[in-house]
Amino acid sequence: MSSLVSVTIDNGVATIAMDDGKANVLSHGMWDELEAAFDQAEQAEAIVVLKGRAGIFSGGFDLKEMGKGPENALVLTSRGSKMARRILSFPTPVIGVSTGHCIAMGAFLMLACDYRIGAAGEFKVGLNETIIGMTMHNFGIELARYRLPLTYFNRCVINAEIWSPEDAMPAGFYDRIAPLESLDQATSMAAEMFSQLNMTAFNGTKNKSRKGLLELLDHCIELDLVTPSA
């Protein structure tokens, strides 16, 4: 499909893979291609597997683009929030497969997925915004508040603790961990599990249960466009 994102649809599962050859930074180009990929998956009514390249899911926003000025940073951040919001309300299950490091906006995308599988290994997982001098945006705070256990919220969002994949599971970033050599098998098992669901019931329950959250996040997206994160 493109140089940054590939889409393969097979047996009702759309595998969307990010690969920029480096850290899978979330640039305007990456957002363009991710949006197109999710359009394809939605049209096919397919279960989605969202994954990265070997060794990394995503290192977060493209800091070079963020550094082009406050207005560009706000727009880029907003696009990330809207993508995460789309995943949270996507009509079919979205399985996040973290193939390695999963940092900042990459971790927020993982938090938005319905089921999260992390690769075991020497990888870093977490929200590093206060380490790199960024005040967390409202959308990120509320998404983290929704997905992370209360006992880990301060440590992840305010203290910016970075976790190993094994520790990222109780912290709320992953639902299960699998060895790298078993990652594809774990993904196939998760897709098979979701394929047993009635998708109309899944979609209705998912969006009904998240109605208040989605309304709050829509407000946060608007607020973040007029409130710089740093």
Q: Confirm if 84 and 139 have CB atoms less than 8 A apart.
A: yes
Tokens of 156: 């992840």
212 three-state secondary structure: helix
Q: What is the pLDDT of residue 230?
A: 45
Q: Confirm if 95 and 118 have CB atoms less than 8 A apart.
A: no
Mean pLDDT by 10 residues, the chain (230 residues): 87 98 97 98 98 97 90 94 98 98 98 98 98 95 98 98 98 98 98 98 98 98 79
Q: What is the pTM of this model?
A: 0.96
pLDDT in tens, 93-110: 999 999 999 999 999 999
Maximum separation of any 2 CA atoms in the chain, in Å: 47
Q: Strand pairing partners for 18?
A: 5
Q: What is the pLDDT of residue 78?
A: 97
The structural domains of the chain, ordered by start, are 5-224 (3.90.226.10)
Q: Strand pairing partners for 101?
A: 56
